[in-house]
Chain A
Amino acid sequence: MIPAAFEYVRAGSAAEAISLIGEHGEEAKFLAGGHSLLPLMKLRLASPSVLVDIGRVGDLSYIRDAGDHIAIGALTRHMDVETSALLQEHVPLLAHAAGHVGDPQVRHRGTMGGTIAHADPASDLPATTLALGATYVATGPNGSREIAAADFYQGFLESALEPDEMLTEIRVPKMNGAGWSFQKFNRRAQDWAIVGVAAWRGAAGSGVALVNMGSTPVLATSVSAALAGGASVSDAAQLAASEAEPQSDLNASTEYRTHLAKVLVRRALEQASA
Chain B
Amino acid sequence: MTVTDDRPAAVLGTRMLRREDPALLTGEAKYTNDLALPGALSLALARSPYAHARILSVDLSAALAAPGVVAAYAGADLSSLWAAPMPCAWPVTADMKNPAHYPVAIGKAAYVGDAVAVVLATSESAARDAVELIDVQYEPLPAVVDLEDALSDRVVIHDELGTNKSYTWDLKIEDHEGAIDEAFASAAHVVKERYVQQRLLPMAMEPRAVAAVPQPFGGDITLYSSTQVPHILKIMSAITLGIPEHQVRVTTPAVGGGFGSKLNVYAEELLCLALARKHKVPVRWNEERTENAVATIHGRGQIQHMELAADAAGKITAVRVRILGDMGAYLQLVTPGIPLLGAFLYAGVYDIPLYDFSCTSVFTTLTPTDAYRGAGRPEATYAIERAVDTLARQMGIDPMELRKRNFIKKEQFPYTAMTGLVYDSGNHLAAAEKAAGLADYEGVRARQATQNVPGATTLLGIGQASYFEMCGLAPSRVLASLNYSAGGWEAATVRVLPTNKIQVVTGTAPHGQGHETSWSMIVADKLGVSPDDIDVLHSDTAIAPLGLDTYGSRSLPVGGVAIAMACDKVIDKAKKIAAHQLEANEDDLEFSGGTFTVKGSPGKTMPLAAIAFEAFTAHNLPDGLEPNLEAHVTYDPPNFSWPFGTHICTVEVDTETGQVTVLQYVAVDDCGNQVNPLIVEGQVHGGVIQGLAQALFEEAVYDDDGNLKNASLAEYLVPAASDVPGLTLGFTVTPSPTNQLGVKGIGEAGTIGAAPAVINAVVDALSSLGITNMPMPASPHTVWNAIQHAQNGASK
A interface residues (Cβ-Cβ under 8 A, vs B): 1-2, 4-5, 39, 43, 103, 185, 187-191, 194, 250-253, 256, 259-260, 263
Contacts and interface: CB of A to CB of B under 8 A. Distances in A.
Nearest to A188: B723
Interface string B121-141: 000110011000000000000
A174 B397 CA distance: 59
Contacts of A188: 697, 717, 719-720, 722-723
A189 B779 contact: no
Most buried by B among A4, A187, A190: A187
Nearest to A266: B656
Contacts of A5: 129
B784 A259 contact: yes
A185 B715 contact: no
B286 to A, nearest CB: 10
A256 B784 contact: yes
Contacts of B685: none
Contact of A256 (B129, B701, B722, B781): B781
B780 interface: yes
Nearest to B710: A250
B701 A250 contact: yes
Contacts of A187: 697, 717, 723, 779-780
10 contacts: A1-B289, A103-B720, A185-B657, A185-B780, A187-B723, A188-B720, A188-B723, A189-B723, A190-B720, A259-B784
B709 interface: yes
| 8 A-B pairs with least C-beta separation | A189-B722, A1-B288, A188-B723, A263-B656, A2-B125, A256-B781, A2-B128, A252-B781
Contacts of A263: 656-657
A230 B710 CA distance: 44
A253 B657 CA distance: 13
Nearest to B658: A256
A1 B659 CA distance: 33
A188 B290 CA distance: 20
Q: Is the interface of A mostly helix, strand, loop or mixed?
A: loop
Given A188-B719, A189-B722, A190-B720, A253 B289 contact: no
Contacts of A189: 720, 722-723
A4 B697 CA distance: 33
Nearest to B718: A188
Contacts of A253: 781
A250 B723 contact: no
Contacts of A260: 657
Q: Is the interface of B mostly helix, strand, loop or mixed?
A: loop
Given A43-B290, A194-B780, 16 more contacts: A1-B289, A4-B129, A39-B714, A185-B780, A188-B697, A188-B717, A189-B720, A191-B714, A191-B717, A251-B779, A251-B781, A252-B781, A256-B784, A256-B785, A263-B656, A263-B657
A188 B715 CA distance: 10
A180 B591 CA distance: 74
A1 B287 CA distance: 10
A260 B780 CA distance: 10
Most buried by B among A1, A5, A190: A1
A259 B129 CA distance: 45
A210 to B, nearest CB: 15
A185 B781 CA distance: 12
A67 B701 CA distance: 51
Nearest to A44: B132
Contact of A2 (B124, B714, B720, B780): B124
Contacts of B129: 4-5
Contacts of B717: 187-188, 191
A259 B785 CA distance: 11
Interface in B654-668: 656-657, 659
Given A250-B710, A250-B715, A260-B657, A190 B125 contact: no
A43 B129 CA distance: 13
A190 B288 CA distance: 22
Nearest to A262: B656
B721 to A, nearest CB: 9
A110 B701 CA distance: 30
Nearest to B287: A1
A184 to B, nearest CB: 12
Interface string B694-726: 000100010000000110101101011011000
Contacts of B780: 185, 187, 194
A30 to B, nearest CB: 23
A251 B785 CA distance: 12
Contact of A250 (B125, B657, B709): B709
B722 A190 contact: yes
B619 to A, nearest CB: 62
Contacts of A250: 701, 709-710, 715
